[in-house]
Structures are given as C-alpha cells and as structure tokens.
C-alpha cells in the first residue's frame, strides 16, 4: 500500500522490484506492481494514468462508490467548516475495486448451470480523494487541490495475465472510429455477422470479439442512428515537477513534463501490446462531408474504399 505524499508534494511510492508473482505461502494470491505516481493534478490525469497502469499490469478496476463535491460541501457546512471545495472538481472521493471483487450472488433457479461468474471476492481496492495542496494556495479554485491515492491494495486472488485481460468485456469493446464506420457500412450492405466478426478480428487482432459482442455492436449502431466518433487528441501520461507544480497549473500545463510509461518491471509485458500515448492516432485536418447522415472525413473515405474492397474481394 503506497503511503500518502509528503508536504512537499512529492508522491511517496513503493517501486516493485519484481514482476507480479504469486506468494509462496499463499499461491492463490498475486501481488501486482504498485503505482509509481499517487498524486495527480486533476481527475482526468488520474484517469489517463489509471488506464495505462491497468494495461501494463493486466488489472481491471471498476468504480464501486463515489462522493460528490456537493455532498462533501454539505458535510463541511454541517460541521461548521470554512473551506469548501470548488464545484468544478465534481468528485471528492472515489473507491475502486477489482472487477472480480464482491461476493457472488447466484440469481439463477438451477435450470441452466452457470458456467462462470465474475465476482470472486478479490480483495484488491483503491481509495482516491481530493486534498488541499501544501503552501499558500487559493482553495477556492481547483488549482488549490490535487487528487491523491490514499490507499491501494494490489493483491488479487486470481491470475493476472494477458489472456484474462484481453477477454474482459471492457477490452473487447471496439472503439476505432474507422473500424466502426466500416462495420456500419457492412451492416447497411447486408453482410452477414460472421463476416463482420472476421473483419473486426482482422483489423483489431488484439480484440477478442465474440459473436455476442458483434450482435450488441450492430444493435447499438442501428438503435443510436450511428455517427462515427472522431478520435480525440492524444492524452499524455504526465505529472508536474515538484518545484514548478503550481506555476504549471496556473499556466495551463505550459511546463508539463512528459514521463515514460508509469510502470517498470511488469511481467509478461510482451504478451499483450501496450499503448504508447504519444503514438495514438490524431486526425489533424478533417474535411467533413455528409453521407447518409454520417459525418466522415477523407481518411475514413479512403479506409472504406481500400480496406473494405480488399476484405470483401477475398
């Protein structure tokens, strides 16, 4: 469990020397590498870092509970506190647990045997909350606060590997805008679902897409009057230097220092691809045009003509 940061703002973290391995005395328990950074400027920065941390360690966390800033301010007012949290921060605290956490609740009547059930009472959990920045900060502004991981138990009672990580429903979700546009075109052309699944598997080889995933995707495209989401600018996994932290916040990250991926010495890293944040695709110039109610750009058009034509001709 990484301790809280000190008054200087430097995160006090534990750096794992070994990869995620099972304990000899408790073979069912797996200790995952801890986070190397536990202090973040915003909730968004925490989310970006958390996504990369999960990818590199094959963990999947979900939000269990959260406390809004509105409710926290009510408690502070009731206790006659003087410093309220800016509403722009939205959340005061969040609790995350492993996707296999919680107690199994069998709701079936025994007619059909349940082959698997996700909750396994995994003890891994994380507590994150807002804390005031040290020094003479203006606590009436979001820049006077920071997000701190106050507790993190990274012990799991199940294996952590690329196979289980990739088959998790969250990681099977297709999000590539060009692939989604192509799937929408295939659906309109009346292509069979099996062919669509093969196409997704070819373009997204790291997505272990099932037939049920394809059914759900096609239903979502049909029900939502599908419009292709364009990629967002590539996020950065970064944290501010200790000395220039407040200055960088005030200058809207002008002094932002990009760091290397957050985890070192992660076992079996080569078994699944890791995402280099700086190499995520960005569409710099878009030339929108209307086609059946969809907003697409030249890159999508070229992709549909070349990629779909090649695939369907095979």
Do 60 and 104 lie in one domain? The reply is: yes
CA dist 138 to 76, 108, 184, 214, 234, Å?
A: 18, 54, 50, 50, 30
Do 140 and 247 lie in one domain? The reply is: yes
What is the per-residue pLDDT for 83?
93
Location of structure tokens 């009472």: 121
pTM of the model: 0.57
Per-block average pLDDT, block size 10, for the chain (314 residues)?
43 40 53 93 95 92 95 94 94 95 69 61 94 90 95 93 84 83 85 87 83 85 62 43 42 37 41 38 32 43 55 59
Do 109 and 214 lie in one domain? The reply is: no
DSSP-derived letter for residue 176 is -
Domain membership of residue 10 (yes or no) is: no
CA dist 214 and 220 (Å) reads 10
Q: Phi first, then psi: what are they for 75, rounded to 5°?
A: -65, -40
Domain membership of residue 7 (yes or no) is: no
**DSSP β-ladder status, 257-258 and 155-156:** unpaired
Do 188 and 254 lie in one domain? The reply is: no
Domain membership of residue 16 (yes or no) is: no
Q: Does residue 65 contact residue 94 with C-beta atoms inside 8 Å?
A: yes
Do 110 and 154 lie in one domain? The reply is: yes
Q: Which domain holds residue 205?
A: 173-230+288-313
Do 132 and 77 lie in one domain? The reply is: yes
Do 147 and 41 lie in one domain? The reply is: yes
Neighbours of 43 (CB within 10 A): 16
What is the token pair recorded at 215? 């059914």
Do 55 and 155 lie in one domain? The reply is: yes
Phi-psi region of 30 (alpha: psi -120 to 50; beta: other; left: phi over 0): beta
Number of structural domains found in the chain? 2
Domain membership of residue 8 (yes or no) is: no
Domain membership of residue 83 (yes or no) is: yes
What is the per-residue pLDDT for 222?
77
3-state secondary structure of 68: strand
Do 115 and 253 lie in one domain? The reply is: yes
CA dist 21 and 265 (Å) reads 12
CA dist 32 and 314 (Å) reads 44
Do 137 and 253 lie in one domain? The reply is: yes
What is the per-residue pLDDT for 200?
87
Do 69 and 92 lie in one domain? The reply is: yes
E strands present in the chain: 21-22, 30-31, 39-40, 61-68, 91-98, 125-132, 145-153, 155-156, 238-239, 257-258, 289-291, 294-296
Phi-psi region of 25 (alpha: psi -120 to 50; beta: other; left: phi over 0): alpha
Do 185 and 301 lie in one domain? The reply is: yes
Domain membership of residue 213 (yes or no) is: yes
Domain membership of residue 303 (yes or no) is: yes
Domain membership of residue 5 (yes or no) is: no
């Amino acid at each position: 469990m990484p301790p809280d940061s000190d008054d200087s703002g430097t995160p006090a973290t534990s750096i794992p020397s070994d990869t995620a391995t099972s304990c000899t005395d408790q073979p069912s328990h797996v200790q995952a590498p801890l986070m190397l950074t536990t202090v973040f400027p915003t909730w968004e920065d925490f989310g970006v870092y958390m996504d990369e941390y999960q990818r590199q360690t094959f963990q999947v966390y979900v939000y269990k509970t959260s406390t809004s800033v509105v409710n926290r301010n009510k408690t502070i007012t009731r206790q006659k506190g003087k410093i309220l949290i800016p509403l722009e921060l939205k959340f005061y605290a969040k609790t995350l647990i492993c996707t296999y956490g919680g107690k199994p609740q069998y709701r079936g009547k025994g007619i059909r045997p349940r082959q698997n059930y996700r909750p396994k009472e995994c003890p891994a959990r994380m507590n994150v909350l807002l804390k005031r920045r040290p020094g003479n900060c203006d606590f009436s502004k979001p820049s006077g606060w920071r997000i701190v991981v106050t507790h993190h138990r990274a012990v799991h009672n199940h294996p952590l590997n690329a196979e289980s990580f990739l088959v998790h429903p969250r990681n099977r979700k297709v999000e590539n805008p060009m692939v989604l546009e192509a799937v929408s075109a295939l659906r309109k052309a009346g292509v069979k679902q099996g062919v669509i699944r093969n196409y997704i598997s070819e373009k997204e080889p790291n997505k272990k897409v099932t037939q049920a995933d394809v059914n759900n995707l096609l239903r979502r495209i049909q029900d939502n009057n599908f419009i292709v989401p364009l990629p967002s600018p590539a996020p950065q996994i970064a944290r501010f230097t200790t000395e220039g932290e407040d200055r960088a916040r005030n200058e809207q990250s002008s002094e932002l220092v990009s760091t290397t991926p957050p985890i070192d010495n992660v076992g079996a890293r080569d078994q699944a691809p890791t995402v280099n944040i700086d190499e995520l695709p960005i569409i710099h110039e878009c030339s929108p045009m209307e086609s059946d109610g969809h907003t697409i750009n030249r890159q999508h058009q070229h992709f549909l003509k070349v990629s779909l034509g090649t695939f369907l001709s095979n």
